[in-house]
Structure 1
Amino acid sequence: MHLGVVRELANAIACPLLIIFKRSWRSGEVPEDCKKTIVTPIFKKGKNKDSVNYRLVSPTLSPGKVMEQTILEIISKHMKDKKVIGSRQHGFMKRKSCFIVT
């Protein structure tokens, strides 16, 4: 489902997606349909007949992206609230740099 379609139908699909997300969260399993993707070869450079000149891309479905971001926010908030990550640990944290400034 294209992100534009998700936005357009947000009111209609919000409740069903919420049910799916909650069940997935509680069970710890991702629905099989959310795991399916279409792998697309993207041309990099060189001769287009040579298969090594392509990289494979498998775009994540929009509802899956929404679920990923929601879970990321929940886990990040929990880790921040419980002070799981030290103040000097910056990797993969929003608005934190991984570089040490001296």
Structure 2
Amino acid sequence: MLDLVLTNKEGLVGNVKLKGSLGCSDHEIVEFKILRAARRVCSKLTTLDFRRADFGLFRDLLGTVPWDKALEERGAQESWLVFKGHLLQAQERCIPTKRKLGKNARRPAWMNKELLTNSNTKRKPTGGGNKGR
């Protein structure tokens, strides 16, 4: 029971020992260890790799769909779902994905090393400000 109070998984609390009481009260000292997993969980974050995308095939796949027939007599919501389905199928076939690993998994895919270094440099104050006020 103690493991579910202190952690979000069972079996992560071990070596539970009851040590003496706290002075004159009826409370007791509980000593325990929280065990952690030895192996770190891999991130399964994937992003679309537009640099390796085949946009010609993407255009051809969406161009061969008879949109007049596909969207005929459908409402806006239903038409959107049909279009979205075709778009996602074409995307799956033409745009490969890549896994983001390590510390770069938190950084947006579009932020390259140059942008990162420029954003981390401190700007010097220009000295204009509110002088003489």
TM range, normalised to the smaller chain?
A: under 0.3
- Structure showing greater radius of gyration is 2
Q: Which has the higher helix share?
A: 1
Q: Which has the higher strand share?
A: 2
**TM-score computed with the length of structure 1 as normaliser:** 0.25
